A = this chain, B = another copy of it.
Amino acid sequence: MSGIADVAQRAGVSKATASRALSGSGYVSEKTRARVLAAARELGYVPSTSAVSLATGRTNNIGVIMPYTNRWFFAEVLEGIQAALLERGLDLTLYIAEPGTEGRRRIFEDFLARKRFDGLIAVGLEPEDHEIEKLTAIGRPIVGVVSAGPHAGVVALDEAGAARRATEHLIALDHRAIAFVGGGAGTHYVSVDLARLAGYRQAMAEAGLEQSIRHVPSPDSLPGGYEAAVDILADSRSRPTAIIASCDEVAAGAIIASRRLGIHVPAALSVVGIDDHEYAEMFSLTTMRQVPRDQGARAVEMITAQIADPDREPEKVTLQARMVMRSSTSAVDPARAASAADAARGR
């Protein structure tokens, strides 16, 4: 439990000099610096974080707030953040603010106000208006991942663009009866789904396929996709020739469902996802890749820059997903395509 006073004494200098030597700020002769460092090492000196914070106003800690941690995207972002913070010697305090819970209310009410952090990274938070107020009231830099804050930095994916390009891929393979599944039911991760859905609609519209637009909502999960796909695929007359899923988990669920129903992917049904989830490979899923881990790392870069210079203009970064071709999509069988399209139009 030795403090800086012990180190100073052992090195034969004052606390002030010891502090300068250890923190590397201010003039210290090479000789004394070496002595101080040696003394510190010998004593196993570790500065008291609370004392440092009190004196400097810096916590050397970053807050991370997200609605869940048990979904792929969030967990990956979190690990990306953690790894990047680790490199910089910064700690991470985590707030899991599940929408609509008493816990979330308390986090915004009490926990954030404690300002245990120099900056806050908000991942897919989608805050309500009154929550945004609280956020800005903290008076600390904020960087959003996914969600955009007014005066905050943001690192986001071009969600609509990703969905649009995925849909275009399907259209280029002569698919016409293309359903969008996922996004909508029981999910709180709304804006992303909306954007992806919009991208799908746009691509369909631009190809003159407004009539064939079909959105089948489902929870953004493997079971969700499974259930929804079972419904869609049951009726062979109205069955689409292709599915674009709101995310890879839904896509995987759809593929499992089609296997169970004996519908061959991609021969009888093309499926494309978004995310490049860890399951994508196993299902040979063609998908639009995003790398949430990198987004987390990027957010850390941005927040530390903001902390170092609070006056700097917050960055707004938009990433593009990259298509990863596997084998869940193929050109449609011309005969089926026509009849399926008719059926879709007829409903």
Q: Residues of A with Cβ closer than 8 Å to B? A: 46-51, 53-54, 59, 61, 68-70, 72, 75-76, 78-79, 82-83, 86, 89, 91-96, 103, 106-107, 110-111, 113-116, 221-223, 226, 253, 256, 259-260, 278-279, 281-282
* Pairs of residues from A and B, 6 with the lowest C-beta to C-beta distance, nearest first: A50-B53, A70-B75, A223-B282, A50-B54, A50-B50, A93-B93
A82 partner residues in chain B, CB cutoff 8 A: 69, 94-96, 103
Cβ of A106: which chain B residues have Cβ within 8 Å of it? 86
Taking CB atoms, residues of chain B closer than 8 Å to A92 are 93-95
10 A-B interface contacts by CB (under 8 A): A46-B113, A51-B54, A69-B75, A69-B78, A69-B79, A82-B96, A86-B106, A91-B93, A91-B116, A223-B282
Q: A78: which B residues are within 8 A, CB to CB?
A: 69, 94, 96
Report the bound CA distance from A79 to B67 in whole Å. Answer: 10
Once the chains bind, are A49 and B116 in contact (CB under 8 Å)? yes
CB-contact partner of A94 in B70, B94, B103, under 8 A: B94
Q: Is the CB of A279 within 8 A of B94?
A: no
A222 shortest CB reach to chain B, Å: 6
Q: How far is the CB of A310 from chain B (nearest CB, A)?
A: 15
